[in-house]
Structure 1
Amino acid sequence: MSATVLANVTGVIVGGRALLIAGPPGAGKSALALALIDRGAMLVGDDAVSIAREGGFLTASPPPNIRGLIEVRNVGIVELPVASGPVALILQLDPEAPRYPLDVALRSIEGLEVPVLNFAAGDAVQALRAEYALSLHGLPLPKRRENA
């Protein structure tokens, strides 16, 4: 199983599912991830995430070269525990994201479609909003075979 590394993507595990946060440098990916981690999420990777196809779903894992490291702006590099999980949603950070999404785009990764939601980060409740986005627009947890 080969992995694809997605650059400029930070990933966290929320409720067993991987939430990927995409955007250019300085967009707020790490800040949103830290807010989610403060609410109980686990880090997958900061500014890079390894993606591998496993049957009908994608698994997000920490890339080996930066495993467990996250940049805390104005503080430095911090080491955190990491996790892996099935990809459910990509939040594309965009300060001009519409207030009410009319439809959710799809992005093909390793031949599978993943929902992509434009998302304005930066306010005080961004982590809570991200959790609602995952709940409303994210893919469900994949069904595991009992003998797998």
Structure 2
Amino acid sequence: MSAQQPLHGTVAACWTTAAGWRGVLITGAPGAGKSDLALRLTGRGWRLVADDYAHVVASGGALYAIAPETIAGRMEARGVGVLTACARGLTRLSLTVELTDGKVERLPEAESRTFDGVSLQLLRLNGFEASAVEKVAAALARL
């Protein structure tokens, strides 16, 4: 693995019987709802990997994420403060989610985002929609 500068984004992971732990990298502009979406995912049994920044590295054709030591196990909940979260360490990434406040295509063409030479499927959505958690889970299940 090669070390990189921390990537601005939040990572949450869920356990699947077929593939073990699978991580989702959530990106977007400041205030787009990255931490808010991760908080709702953890409320559904997911684990926080990193909030706000993550070290993302490529190894063996896959991408892995881990929180910088200074923020591991903590996340910010806007209006509440910094919370302790049920956290997970190094996790393989399976999907990237880009949060937007713009219009989201009803039936988008498949897209991917490449990090350090490794591509991940990309899902664009509004993170504040009530269905955002279910959309992330459904997209991950399709991989």
User: Which bracket does the TM-score occupy, shorter chain normalised?
Assistant: 0.7 to 0.9
Q: How does 1:123-138 map to 2 (within 5 A)?
A: 123-136=129-142, 138=143
Q: Which residue, 125, 131, 134 being the options, matches 1:119?
A: 125
Structure 2: unaligned runs, 5 residues or longer: 16-20
How many pairs align?
Answer: 136
Give the TM-score, by structure 1 length. 0.84
The residue aligned with 1:85 is 91
1:55 paired to 2:87: no
Deviations for 1:102-124, whole angstroms, at most 9, x for unmatched residues?
Answer: 22222221111111111112122
Q: Is the 8 A contact 2:26 2:98 kept in 1?
A: yes
The residue aligned with 2:3 is 3
Matched letter for residue 94 of structure 2: A
Matched letter for residue 61 of structure 1: I
Give the TM-score, by structure 2 length. 0.87
Q: Is the 8 A contact 2:64 2:93 kept in 1?
A: yes
- The alpha-carbon deviation at position 97 of structure 1 amounts to 4.1
Q: Is the 8 A contact 1:92 1:118 kept in 2?
A: yes
Counterpart Cα distance in 2 of 1:46 and 1:93: 15
- The alpha-carbon deviation at position 131 of structure 1 amounts to 0.6
Bigger mean CA deviation after superposition, 18-27 or 126-135: 126-135
Counterpart Cα distance in 1 of 2:30 and 2:23: 20
The residue aligned with 2:22 is 17
Q: Which residue, 55, 73, 79 being the options, matches 1:74?
A: 79
Bigger mean CA deviation after superposition, 49-58 or 120-129: 120-129
Q: Which residue, 34, 41, 45 being the options, matches 1:36?
A: 41
Counterpart Cα distance in 2 of 1:53 and 1:27: 26
Q: 4+ runs of 1 displaced by more than 4 Å?
A: none
Q: Cα RMSD (Å) of the superposition?
A: 1.5
Percent identity between the aligned chains? Answer: 32
- The alpha-carbon deviation at position 53 of structure 1 amounts to 1.4
The residue aligned with 1:143 is none
The residue aligned with 2:109 is 103
Structure 1: unaligned runs, 5 residues or longer: 139-148
| SS of residue in 2 equivalent to 1:131 | helix
